[in-house]
């Protein structure tokens, strides 16, 4: 049977596809523009999107397992519910869903609240599913490399509570492991939730210290002011999304994004290797400047 991957052209989705191929899985991807999709030989490409019911029905035909990843967009919740209902209609009962850690805590943050709603629907609809709950992506900091290197400031207002930041390659590998496990099981497996975190709890000052060590000069933490953060984001994203990110940052400051007991050990055992660290990520960038 075949695994359908949505969100397949993004950072996590593309890695999931390639990791599934390496594990011998049959893979189909859902993409808006097949001409822009470039995947390994043997990956089947279905044109459509999560709000195009007819194209999604066609993409789900003959599928046994679904990887549901939908982007942060205003229609995110609707996209997911359409996909879940069509999956049930198609007889699919094996799902891996990419949610977010603390979706049930950051209840005022739109994209967190939406993902928590999807988690509830997966549970209430009776799917056998793995709900992946990753922490903040280490890779997001690629977008601020120039600010760190050229201006000597780490500008993300992540505060002092700490975040268990995670490498997207680890997210993708865990997703692939869970997809194959569910796909090859003799019967649908029970629902489970899995926090995906990095090996370290990181603060704003701590990350600035890592960059200082690697670059050999002082890098300052830009502080906890979220209003300016929102204004900066509005330079390159819609106002609603910038506000969403500001609300998330405010919860970083008040709550943090901390692993639960046993998360790191569980993930390390699942991967059979250590989790990738922020220092390793930063060292690669520092070596290239």
Average model confidence (pLDDT) across the chain: 96
The pTM is what? Answer: 0.96
Whether residue 149 is contained in a domain is answered as: no
Instruction: For residue 226, give Cα distances in angstroms to 1, 100, 146, 154, 245.
Output: 47, 21, 20, 14, 9
Q: Quick one: DSSP state of residue 163?
A: B
What are the pLDDT digits (tens) for 71-84? 999 999 999 999 99
Whether residue 32 is contained in a domain is answered as: yes
Q: Does residue 1 register a pLDDT over 90?
A: no
What are the pLDDT digits (tens) for 9-53? 999 999 999 999 999 999 999 999 988 788 998 999 999 999 999
Whether residue 116 is contained in a domain is answered as: yes
The total number of structural domains in the chain stands at 1
Q: Locate 282 and state its tokens.
A: 């930063």
The Cα–Cα gap between 128 and 95 comes to 6
Backbone angles phi, psi at 10, to 5 degrees: -85, 180
Whether residue 275 is contained in a domain is answered as: no
Structural domain harbouring 116:
2-134+168-195
Whether residue 278 is contained in a domain is answered as: no
Q: Specify which residues 166 forms β-bridges with.
A: 137
Angle at 286 between CA 236 and CA 228, to 5 degrees: 30
Tell me which H or E stretch contains 68.
strand 63-68
- Report pLDDT for 36: 79
Whether residue 22 is contained in a domain is answered as: yes
Domain holding 36: CATH number? 3.40.50.720
Whether residue 80 is contained in a domain is answered as: yes
Residue with tokens 């942060």: 72
The residues near 12 (Cβ < 8 Å, ≥ 6 apart) are 69, 98, 168, 171, 172, 175
What are the pLDDT digits (tens) for 149-201? 999 999 999 999 999 999 999 999 999 999 999 999 999 999 999 999 999 99
Q: What DSSP string describes 183-207?
A: HHSSSPPPPEEEEE--SS-B-HHHH
- Report pLDDT for 128: 92
Do residues 67 and 16 lie in contact, with contact meaning Cβ atoms separated by under 8 Å? yes
Whether residue 155 is contained in a domain is answered as: no
The residues near 288 (Cβ < 8 Å, ≥ 6 apart) are none
What are the pLDDT digits (tens) for 87-118? 999 999 999 999 999 999 999 999 999 999 99
Do residues 211 and 282 lie in contact, with contact meaning Cβ atoms separated by under 8 Å? yes
Q: Quick one: DSSP state of residue 224?
A: S
Instruction: Estimate the share of the chain in helix, then strand, then coil, as percent rounded to the nearest 5.
Output: 50, 15, 35
Q: How confident is the model at residue 125 (pLDDT cuts 50, 70, 90)?
A: very high
Angle at 139 between CA 138 and CA 141, to 5 degrees: 80
């Amino acid at each position: 049977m075949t695994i359908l991957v949505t969100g397949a052209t993004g950072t996590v989705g593309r890695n999931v596809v390639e990791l599934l191929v390496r594990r011998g899985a049959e893979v189909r991807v859902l993409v808006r523009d097949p001409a822009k999709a470039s995947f390994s030989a043997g990956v089947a490409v279905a044109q459509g999107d999560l709000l195009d019911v007819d194209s999604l029905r066609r993409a789900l035909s003959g599928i046994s397992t679904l990887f549901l990843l939908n982007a942060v967009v205003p229609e995110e919740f609707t996209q997911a519910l359409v996909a879940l209902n069509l999956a049930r209609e198609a007889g699919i009962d094996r799902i891996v869903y990419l949610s977010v850690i603390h979706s049930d805590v950051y209840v005022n943050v739109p994209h967190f609240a939406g993902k928590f709603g999807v988690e509830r629907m997966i549970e209430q609809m009776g799917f056998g599913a793995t709900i992946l709950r990753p922490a903040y992506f280490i890779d997001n900091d690629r977008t601020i490399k120039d600010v760190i290197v050229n201006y000597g400031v780490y500008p993300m207002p992540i505060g002092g509570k700490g975040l268990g930041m995670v490498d997207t390659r680890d997210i993708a590998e865990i997703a692939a492991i869970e997809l194959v496990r569910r796909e090859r099981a003799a019967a649908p497996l029970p629902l489970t939730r899995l926090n995906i975190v990095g090996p370290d709890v990181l603060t704003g000052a701590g990350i600035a210290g890592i960059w200082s060590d690697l670059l050999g000069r002082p890098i300052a933490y830009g502080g906890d002011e979220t209003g300016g953060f929102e204004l900066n984001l509005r330079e390159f994203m819609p106002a609603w999304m910038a506000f969403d990110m500001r609300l998330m940052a405010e919860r970083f400051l008040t709550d943090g994004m901390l692993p639960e007991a046993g998360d790191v050990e569980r993930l390390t055992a699942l991967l059979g290797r250590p989790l990738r660290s922020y220092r390793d990520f930063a060292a690669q960038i520092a070596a290239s400047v």
